[in-house]
Amino acid sequence: MMMHYGFDIGGSKIALGVFDTTRQLVWETRVATPKESYDAFLDAVCGLVAQADARFNCQGTVGIGIPGMPETEDGTLYAANVPAATGKPLRADLSRLLERDVRLDNDANCFAISEAWDDEFTQYPLVMGLILGTGVGGGIVQNGKSITGHRYITGEFGHIRLPVDALEVVGRDFPLTRCGCGQLGCIENYLSGRGFAWLYTHFYHQQRTSPEIVALWEQGDVQAREHVERYLDLLAVCLGNILTIVDPDLVVLGGGLSNFSAITDGLAQRLPRHLLPVAAVPRIERARHGDAGGMRGAAFLHLTN
């Protein structure tokens, strides 16, 4: 039986999930990510593949999800928080060492792929994954395969700027804060988990964490309720622009804020006024595969040509 190996590689851990032909997870393991030596990094990945090959008595397919740009123009990886491998021809080296076609994609695309291959969601040809977490990002998956774009930029939704109608929600004197990318007014600064908390502080001059605000909302706190309404209005404005470009069948929300039911529940009714009159609001669902998404999506890189 053919097995699909999916690696979720981050700054601290290399996680491997092995999936069977019915896309079920049958085994997983993890090791610490080697920080300095590229050879140690390659050895760690190859060692886990060897373990899986022996365990399942086959040569499984290998897919890897990694933060950053899996392959730049010269064939090297760019991943700032994986210093041992950044700047190296990771895909080519692993393909050679493992004697099989190794596929790479970024972690946000792997999240979207994982959800698109959910048993129920496979009915949708165009799936958009939107991550509302530490940052804002995601991916677009068409017929089970991610659209990476020329430089793996597709799905960097957090780095579009606030649209003009956002100012109707937050006020025309609203401050445009500088993003880590260097630009002013990126929506990530307002729609991410930290943005959610920043908006609260901006309007109410009180420092609260996102979980604290959510807890207040659940208790019926008037300020927290007003804040969540405003955040949802802002999210709908920004998402309306993205949906007009992408026009997906399904939007899957991930990241910490997706666990807050008011967001998934309150979004659909707000969207029509921000879409073209002929547009339909896509189905909006919370991510179903959570922390396993990186491994799943990486493993499923081999399900399409």
Q: What's the rounded Cα separation, in Å, for the pair 65 and 129?
A: 15
- Give the sheet arrangement for strand 283-286, strand by strand: 145-146, 136-142, 126-132, 250-254, 283-286
Residue 137 is assigned to a ligand binding site: yes
186 annotated ligand binder: yes
Q: Is 10 annotated as a binding residue?
A: yes
The response to whether 274 counts as a known ligand-binding position is no
DSSP 177: P
Residue 12 counted as an annotated binding residue? yes
256 annotated among ligand-binding-site residues: no
DSSP SS3 for 150? coil
* Whether the Cβ atoms of residue 3 and residue 20 lie closer than 8 Å to each other: yes
Check whether 7 is labelled as a binding-site residue: yes
Q: For residue 243, what are the CA distances in angstroms to 58, 218, 238, 247, 280?
A: 42, 29, 9, 5, 10
Please give the Cα distance from 205 to 119 (Å, whole number): 45
Q: Is residue 58 marked as binding?
A: no
Greatest Cα-to-Cα distance within the chain, rounded to the nearest angstrom: 64
> What residue type is 26 in one-letter code?
V
> Does the annotation list 64 as a binding residue?
no
- The tokens of 263 are what? 């967001």
Q: Alpha-carbon distance 103 to 23, whole Å? A: 17
Is 135 known as a binding-site position?
yes
Is 153 known as a binding-site position? no
Residue type, 217: W
User: Residue 6 — φ and ψ, nearest 5°?
Assistant: -120, 125
Is 181 part of any known ligand binding site? Answer: yes
CA dist., res. 174 & res. 159, Å (int): 18
Q: Is residue 142 marked as binding?
A: yes
Q: Is 8 annotated as a binding residue?
A: yes
Tell me if 46 is assigned to a ligand binding site: no
Please answer whether residues 154 and 278 qualify as being in contact, where contact means their C-beta atoms are separated by less than 8 angstroms: no
- Is residue 193 a known part of a binding site? no
Q: Is 238 annotated as a binding residue?
A: no
Nearest to 204 by CA among 224, 189, 187, 188: 224
How many residues belong to the chain?
305
User: Does the annotation place 11 within a ligand binding site?
Assistant: yes
Would the annotation count 281 as a binding residue?
Answer: no
**Residue 185 known to bind ligand:** no
Binding residues: 6-13, 135-142, 159, 179, 181, 186
Known binding positions for ATP: 6-13, 135-142
Binding-site residues for Zn(2+), please? Answer: 159, 179, 181, 186
